[in-house]
């Protein structure tokens, strides 16, 4: 799917959500209300479309642990945001849904002592799952967010299982 097809396939509510999350001011304000730790840790959404979501987390005193790497909880938050923002984009304009994290796993491969970029590329899979749900149906999807350093080396991988219920 190219950018034009991706852009045109989103519902107006999803396009509005995408525009807000890609705008630093709206993102900051939204996180202030819903997820203040994202502001403290200085998360940034670098890309959000129907295919994927990319979130960065800097290596600063705010995110650092005593071992001179990024605190695992800060990385977990960035990884969850890369999956959750994609979920919110997908349900925008589809009616009422509830969503909840029901499982969470992590693997760590390398010391995170630089800016880390978390990417979840399961947009199509997510959109297909949500389209298949009828009112009162539930579905689960384990979304993978891979965190890489500026050299492209995988630092960590997070598995976030979301449960969705379509309300009538």
Q: Please state the pTM of the whole predicted model.
A: 0.90
User: Class for domain 3-166, per CATH?
Assistant: alpha beta
Per residue in 128-166, pLDDT (tens digit) is 999 999 999 999 999 999 999 999 999 999 999 999 999
Cα gap 134→149, rounded to integer Å: 40
109 pLDDT tier (thresholds 50, 70, 90) = very high
| Strand, coil or helix: 105 | strand
Cα gap 87→92, rounded to integer Å: 9
Per residue in 18-77, pLDDT (tens digit) is 998 988 888 998 889 988 999 999 999 999 999 999 999 999 999 999 999 999 999 999
Per residue in 70-105, pLDDT (tens digit) is 999 999 999 999 999 999 999 998 889 999 999 999
Domain ranges for the chain: 3-166
For residues 15 and 7, is the Cβ–Cβ distance under 8 A? yes
């Amino acid at each position: 799917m190219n950018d034009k097809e991706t852009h045109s396939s989103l519902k107006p509510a999803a396009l509005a959500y995408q525009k807000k999350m890609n705008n630093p001011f709206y993102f900051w304000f939204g996180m202030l209300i819903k997820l203040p730790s994202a502001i403290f840790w200085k998360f940034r959404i670098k890309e959000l479309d129907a295919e994927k979501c990319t979130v960065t987390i800097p290596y600063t005193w705010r995110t650092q642990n005593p071992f001179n790497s990024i605190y695992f909880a800060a990385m977990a938050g960035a990884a969850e945001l890369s999956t959750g923002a994609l979920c919110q984009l997908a349900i925008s304009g589809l009616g009422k849904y509830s969503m909840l994290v029901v499982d969470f796993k992590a693997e760590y491969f390398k010391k995170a002592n630089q800016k880390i970029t978390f990417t979840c590329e399961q947009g199509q899979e997510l959109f297909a799952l949500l389209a298949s749900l009828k009112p009162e149906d539930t579905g689960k999807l384990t979304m993978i967010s891979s965190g890489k350093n500026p050299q492209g080396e995988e630092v960590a991988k997070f598995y976030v299982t979301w449960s969705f219920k379509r309300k009538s």
